[in-house]
Homo-oligomer: A and B are copies of this chain.
Amino acid sequence: MSNRIITISREFGSGGRTIGRLAAQKLGVACYDQELIDKIAQESGLFRKYVEEHAEDARGWMDLVSSHDYYGRSVGDKLFSAQTKVIRELADKESCVIVGRCADYILGEYDNVLKVFIHASMDKRAERIVNQYGERTEAPIQRLKEKDRKRRAYYQMYTDRRWGAMENYHVALDSGVVGIERCAEIIAGLY
């Protein structure tokens, strides 16, 4: 297997998505992030918007788990199974950067994967979501905590691992201290 994959797991507001894009640019490979949503929607037969809202953040995941299809499978399981298939197919097909969506866990047995985690302090992330993502300026820290809580719950539920536990990553960087561009350089340099 000669493909090489970088998975980027990240706290909301840490700039992990931007770092993934920059690293992929430097390496001349594709970066899959939002693009995964279309593929997962196609694979699962679920609406794109539904996938977008549920594929990572466990927005209303209790609904997801308690809704079942004709075969008795929960919609959440169906979504995760489509996500797994799409991510494994990508990893088998080409060298790339994959952002989020439990790719670190889904590709856990692959030995050609560099697993990265990007995090930052609450203050830095709050600054970023207001200034860069154009989010509302009210109570950003409260919204970050809510996001963290949902993403952690989703990850824990599907992987049975603690989200952000250091032992699951080869490189973990505080983007607020190291800087977005420098994070991308380090990751690309390790590829």
Contact = CB atoms under 8 A, between A and B. Distances in A.
B170 A178 contact: yes
Contacts of A121: 167
Given A186-B186, A190-B178, A190-B182, A170 B173 contact: yes
B166 A172 contact: yes
A43 interface: no
A107 interface: no
Identical copies in the complex: 2
A174 B174 contact: no
B119 A167 contact: yes
Q: Chain A: interface secondary structure? A: mixed
A164 B121 CA distance: 16
A166 B164 contact: yes
A114 interface: yes
A80 interface: no
B171 A178 contact: yes
A117 B169 CA distance: 12
A65 interface: no
Contacts of A174: 169-171
A170 B178 CA distance: 7
Interface in A116-142: 117, 119, 121
A157 interface: no
Contacts of A119: 166-167
Interface in A141-191: 164-167, 169-174, 177-178, 182, 186, 189-190
Nearest to A113: B177
27 contacts: A114-B177, A117-B166, A117-B172, A119-B166, A119-B167, A121-B167, A164-B166, A165-B166, A166-B166, A166-B172, A169-B172, A169-B174, A170-B173, A170-B174, A170-B177, A170-B178, A171-B171, A171-B172, A171-B173, A171-B174, A171-B178, A172-B172, A172-B173, A178-B190, A182-B190, A186-B186, A186-B189
